[in-house]
Amino acid sequence: MSKPLRLDRLRRFVTEFAALLERQRDEQAILGTGQGLLRQLVEHDDWLPEQFALPHPEHYLQYLLHADSLQRFSVVSFVWGPGQRTPVHDHRVWGMIGMLRGAELGQRFDRQADGTLKPEGEPLRLEHGDIECVSPTIGDIHQVSNAFDDRVSISIHVYGGNIGAVKRAVYGMDGSEKSFISGYSNACLPNIWSMAP
């Protein structure tokens, strides 16, 4: 018999993060404290329901796990099939990425004086429990990929808005932009509010 899911971990994260946003408006402070809360969530891999961890054979999936009723933040599981990657893109809000399973590579890009994009340093590899932050103030354009060609990786993302409804952009290396709104891959949310055993 399998162990019951610890959805209380996600419920605790959502509750504590909402309380943080009630106390704090400064982005740096939110990200500073928020990283610790996200790390507590992703250090355990016993809470994510299987239906929000299923890969697609051709492209990554973005499952909404929670959207704040005031759209101050959203929590999303990104499921990366073997070798899958995003296009170069931005977020236009702050965000935190925490690795739950596997590993991913994130390559940041700088906009040059002529408008083109240039990779900023080497790709950052996130392993289980690692956290990375993005925002328009600290660096917002990047490309993310599964670090593995033979297995699934899952990262948990927290954004400063309802990320599936935010108008964002994908980029060509010449700096050209194409607007998009990502939406979500799921039609229902996990029930994190049931107190039944």
The lowest-confidence range among 2-6, 72-76, 137-141, 184-188 is 2-6
Query: Per-residue pLDDT tens for 70-104?
Result: 999 999 999 999 999 999 999 999 999 999 999 99
pLDDT recorded at residue 4: 86
Res. 134 pLDDT band, cuts 50 70 90: very high
Determine the Cα–Cα distance for residues 87 and 169; give it in Å rounded to an integer: 10
pLDDT recorded at residue 86: 97
Determine the Cα–Cα distance for residues 100 and 98; give it in Å rounded to an integer: 6
pLDDT recorded at residue 197: 54
pLDDT over 70 percentage in the chain: 98
pLDDT recorded at residue 84: 98
pLDDT recorded at residue 195: 75
Give bridge partners of residue 119 from the DSSP assignment.
Answer: 109
Residues 104-132 as b or e (16 or more Cβ within 10 Å = b) = bbbbbbeeeeeeebeeeeebbebeeebbb
Q: What are phi and psi of 23, to 5 degrees?
A: -85, -30
Answer whether residue 1 shows pLDDT above 90: no
| Domains by residue range for the chain, with CATH | 7-180 (2.60.120.10)
Mean pLDDT, to the nearest integer, of 129-144? 96
Query: Per-residue pLDDT tens for 8-58?
Result: 999 999 999 999 999 999 999 999 999 999 999 999 999 999 999 999 999
Pick from 100, 58, 57: nearest CA to 78: 100
Which helix (H) or strand (E) segment holds residue 24: the answer is none
Report DSSP letters for 88-116, one per residue.
SB--SS-EEEEEEESEEEEEEEEE-TTS-
